[in-house]
Structure 1
Amino acid sequence: MATKIADVIVPEVFNPYLIQRTAELSALTQSGIIVNDPQLNALATSGGTILNMPFWDDLTGESEVLSDSTPLSVKKIVANKDMSRLHTRGNAWGANDLAKALSGDDPMRAVGDLLASYWARDQQKMLFSTLKGVFAATTMAGNLHDISAGTGAAAVIDATTVIDAQTKLGDAADKLTAFSMHSAVYAKLQKDRLIVYKVDPVTGVSFPTYLDKRVIVDDGHPVAAGVYTTYLFGGGAVGFGQGAAPVPTETDRDSLQGDDILINRQHFILHPRGVKWTEDAVVGVSPTNAELATAANWSRVYENKNIRIVKFVHKLA
């Protein structure tokens, strides 16, 4: 008798497995760019869609000279607020799409890996849309390095222009730990013999580095008319919080059609730290990728150098 989806999927077992595998299959998570945060997990399950993350602004001003006659003046410590958005997403698949997976030796793992890979890819698409909107906001100009209008080598990614991009964070440039780039950019750096492979001491898996920083390759990066976007990230630049959909996973069957159906829903936070979500241009219950890419929905609240992301716009030749 053929395996049915309902025979394979036990939601109480499957849901935590899917969450774990999605994280394992996400290159951005494995590189430390996206970090699961217990505070964001709590916010993602606290109710509401716009979630407040208060913080204290740094102390400023020069110290005062102590005096036996003039008291110190008292300054205020100022509270500020970052805000993130709870994303509510879902999808459904019929058995025909999963027939090959269901014939495997471990059908639950096969289905789980298909879904985990799907969500890892989908969340990376969401992140690129988010970054498009974030860097379209005028408040993020200090984290943007665009050399694409230059001529010759001045417009091309290389060790020199990358250092200029890193310097957008000033004395916090050493917080940048990874590059995320299009495969064409990666190929160019390979041809320049600038890619060095290292081995993860824990997993034993080799990974590419550039200027001693990990490289993530994804063709979802923006490219138009020979102009490419490469992102430089610091560890934990993007916070992730796992929410709890009321019914994350369920199965159904259309007996008349003979179709098995698998439905999966995800509630989560995927937030670039230090750039506030404003909800100024959202129509539905949850923002679409197009709305994530809208500048009006984002506003910087951290100092530029404390936002561990730099957008580098350049050419290849």
Structure 2
Amino acid sequence: MATTQLADIFVADYYGTIAPVNSPEKTAVFESGIIVKSPELDAIAQNGQGTSEISYWQDLDADEEPNISNDNPDDLGEVGKAEQGSMRARTLYLNKGYGVADLTSELANTEPMQHIRNRFGTYWTRRWQRYLLGAARGVIASNIANDAGDMVVDAGATISAGAFQDAAFTSGDAADVFSAIGVHSVVMNQMVKQDLIEYLRDSDGRIILATYLGKPVFMDDSLVYGAGRYLSVFFGQGAFGYGEGTPAVPVELERKPSGGNGGGAEVLWERKTFILQPAGFSWKGSNNQNLSPTATQYAAAANWERVFDRKQVPFAAVISGTTTP
């Protein structure tokens, strides 16, 4: 029985305009406001350099006393200065291909390639979130290693409302900047048992969002900190800057006549170029364009350095649980 292959209808330009199923814009992480799409990061992701320096103006130092005005024309007032700093952003060059043999399509009497196409968006969403949470784990680990853990509270064996409050106030009077919390499912279970979680429901009573003190809470079991310990992370508005570049060939269908031992096969390739930059931190890892870091490398303390003052960094964390002997 004949089957229509994606090769029969594939038009790369058109394919690239179709919104994938479960695109990142539909996730609770995006909707929480912790991701800011940046034209500047788009431009950097497009420049093909692998890593780039981002310059920024330091805030004016409010600890500097103002001059006291007087009537002496020769008494010159002290002049402060505006200073620039810089941080390094890492561009990620990623690709993934999924293939199907023609015989598989014929025997299945379905369109597996269409299924692959429909689920590619979900695949990238999940990979993207691994990088996001990897970066969050990395900046917290860097903070513990290099900044005396001034963004982190140790809650002991079990999470508590007090520990969450203490973590938020590690940023002092900027404690109200946090807009979302990421937790491990074990921590979420503890929060539910302690009645810390409130739920937003739709008109039919279905739960659409879990919140803590009005802030969206999302679960991910990658939020661990060693064996038996869990990492709960507070994210502020704009905690991550996001930029996208355009690969030379973003999507491509490869036809392999010799695949399937001559029965024919095709592979659908998608390529992504993007930057996911945690606010206030500079990338310290490799800048080799041919070796984009993995999500695991994004979580390494040695690959990040804080360059902003504590109050300007929209992250805080609680570590809980007990170390497994």
The normalised TM-score by structure 2 is: 0.84
Residue 126 (structure 1) aligned to one of 120, 127, 131: 131
Cα gap change, 1:266 to 1:291, in 2 (>3 Å): same
Residue 151 of structure 2 contacts residue 310 of structure 2 at CA under 8 Å; is this kept in 1? no
| Deviation sequence 1:53-105 (CA, Å, 0-9, x none) | 2111111111111122211111221111122111001111112699689638x
Deviation of 1:51 after TM superposition, in Å, equals 2.0
> Following TM superposition, by how much is the alpha carbon of 1:20 offset from its aligned partner in structure 2, in angstroms?
8.8
Higher share in helix: 1
1:236-275 alignment to 2 at 5 Å? Answer: 236-256=238-258, 257=260, 258-275=264-281
Structure 1 residues 94 and 34, CA gap change in structure 2 (3 angstroms): same
Match for 2:87 among 79, 82, 85? 82
The secondary structure found in structure 2 opposite 1:147 is strand
Aligned to 1:220: 222
Assess, with a 3 A threshold, how the Cα gap between structure 1 residues 246 and 281 changes in structure 2: closer, same or farther.
closer
Q: Which residue among 185, 198, 201 is the counterpart of 1:183?
A: 185
Task: From 152, 163, 188, give the equivalent of 1:145.
Answer: 152
Give the distance between the partners of 1:185 and 1:269, measured in 2 at CA: 29
- 1:64: which partner in 2? 67
The unaligned stretches of length 5 or more in structure 1 are none
Q: Deviation per CA, 1:200-259, whole angstroms, max 9, x where unpaired?
A: 89xx98211012111111112115443211111112101110111111110112212222
In the TM superposition, residue 283 of structure 1 has moved relative to its aligned partner by 9.2
What's 1:42 paired with?
A: 43
The root-mean-square deviation of aligned C-alpha atoms, in Å, is: 2.9
Aligned to 2:7: 6
Q: How many equivalent pairs are there?
A: 307
- d(CA) in 2 for partners of 1:246, 1:47: 11
Query: Which has the larger displacement, 220-229 or 113-122?
Result: 220-229
Q: Distance in 1 between matches of 2:56 and 2:246?
A: 25
Q: Distance in 2 between matches of 1:208 and 1:178?
A: 11
**Distance change >3 Å, CA 199–CA 17, structure 1 → 2:** farther
Unmatched 5+ stretches in structure 2: none
Matches within 5 A, 1:20-35: 21-35=22-36
Which residue does 2:320 correspond to in 1?
Answer: 314
Instruction: Give the 4+ runs in structure 1 shifted more than 6 A.
Output: none
Q: Contact 1:102–1:111 at 8 Å: present in 2 too? A: no
Contact 2:240 2:277 in 1 (8 A): yes
Aligned identity (percent) is 32
Q: How far did 1:146 drift?
A: 3.5
d(CA) in 1 for partners of 2:118 and 2:278? Answer: 26
Give the match's secondary structure for 2:316: strand
TM-score, scaled relative to structure 1? 0.86
Secondary structure, in 3 states, of the residue corresponding to 1:84?
Answer: strand
Change (3 A) 1:85 1:111: same
C-alpha distance in 1, partners of 2:208/2:176? 23
User: What whole-Å deviation, never above 9, does each CA across 1:173-208 have from its counterpart, x for those lacking one?
Assistant: 10001111111211221122221112589xx98211
